[in-house]
Amino acid sequence: MEIVIDTDPGVDDALALTFAFKANLPVTAVSTVYGNNLVESSTRNAGFIARTFATDWRIYEGAAKPLEGEGRLSYAHGVFGLGELLPTDDQIAPAEAQSAADFFEGLAQGTDRYTLFCLGPLTNIADALTKHPGLPGKIGQLVIMGGAFSEAGANISPYAEFNAYNDPLAFQVTMDKAYEAAINTAIIPGEVCNEVVLTEADLNELEKQDLLPDIRAIVGPYLSYYLRAGSEGNQQGAILYDVLVPLYHQYPELFTTSRGRVTVKQQLIQKGQTLLTPDEQSSIQVCRTVDAAAARAVVLQTLGGKGVV
């Protein structure tokens, strides 16, 4: 199945897109959403990745804010989402005139089935699943980075992970639609992502590879955030977060999962908190553990570096 990536680049999103390209995954389109930065910056950054690798990925600009209320942007990724790098117009593949909403409407009306990677707030996805009843039948696999099912994964409040916090209603709608339509769904929560990090030594290795232009300008400030100024504190490196989505798609055996139904808190201090009710008949799997050493090795090998093990 062809792959659609819904994303808010973002340093870790940029690395996830790079991973998808280097792994020769059949990506056909990228839809953008607010989150790590404004949606306009997300679209430009996705266009930068697409132009860098001379892909034929179609890029569709999506939601600029949550289904309800306002979002909260990240400050770990630099002013425009790619660390200290600010691509010029000639480095950016232009977005399609069609919006992400129009694109998903087209998918719902078509006959093909797709794998969908979700790297940001789920606003585009929830909106499309709500408006187009035929869309769930076109999704063969749904892989989501989001949520926190233990305190270790909460990175924006004591209870919530960033993507779930930014649009808890969209997360709930997506979970409900996936459960009702029995969509093959995997969620990679924050506490699992925390186990796989990029170190300074890894970045030194990646600099030697034919990757993104000036990768240190992109990744360096993000890495520094986690090593010195990040709210996580005491990290050995930068958490790779969204990279685990294409990694799971290719190597699900590196993860253990639990099946169940997901509930998302909507209000007050618990906004964005995700809870799992066990249900072995559910099509939704929440990742519980990852073989971190193997995952990190695969990521670095796929990106083109041998890593430091």
CATH number of the domain to which 124 belongs: 3.90.245.10
Question: Are the beta carbons of 109 and 71 closer than 8 angstroms?
Answer: no
Q: Which domain holds residue 146?
A: 2-303
Above pLDDT 90, what percent of the chain? 88
**What is the per-residue pLDDT across 139-175, written as a single tens digit (0 to 9) for each?**
999 999 999 999 999 999 999 999 999 999 999 999 9
pLDDT tens digits, one per residue of 112-130:
999 999 999 999 999 999 9
Strands (E), the chain: 2-7, 27-32, 58-61, 114-118, 139-145, 185-188, 197-198, 238-239, 255-264, 274-278, 284-290
Mean pLDDT of 59-64: 98
**If DSSP codes are grouped into helix, strand and coil, which group holds residue 27?**
strand
Tell me what pLDDT residue 73 has.
87
Cα radius of gyration (the chain) = 18
95 within a domain of the structure (yes/no): yes
- Tell me the per-residue pLDDT of 282-308, one tens digit each, with 9 for 90 and over: 999 999 999 999 999 999 999 985 544
pLDDT for 210 equals 83
171 neighbors 268 (Cβ within 8 angstroms): no
71 pLDDT tier (thresholds 50, 70, 90): confident
Task: Tell me which residue of 288, 294, 298, 297 sits closest to 192, measured CA to CA.
Answer: 288
What is the pLDDT confidence band of residue 229, given thresholds at 50, 70 and 90? low
Local confidence band at 234 (pLDDT 50, 70, 90 cut-offs) = low
Q: Residue 309 domain-assigned?
A: no
- Tens-place pLDDT, residues 178-207: 999 999 999 999 999 999 999 999 999 999
Q: Domain total for the chain?
A: 1
Q: Considering the domain boundaries, does residue 308 fall inside one? A: no
pLDDT at 264 over 70: yes
Q: So what's the pLDDT on residue 231?
A: 47
pLDDT at 227 over 70: yes
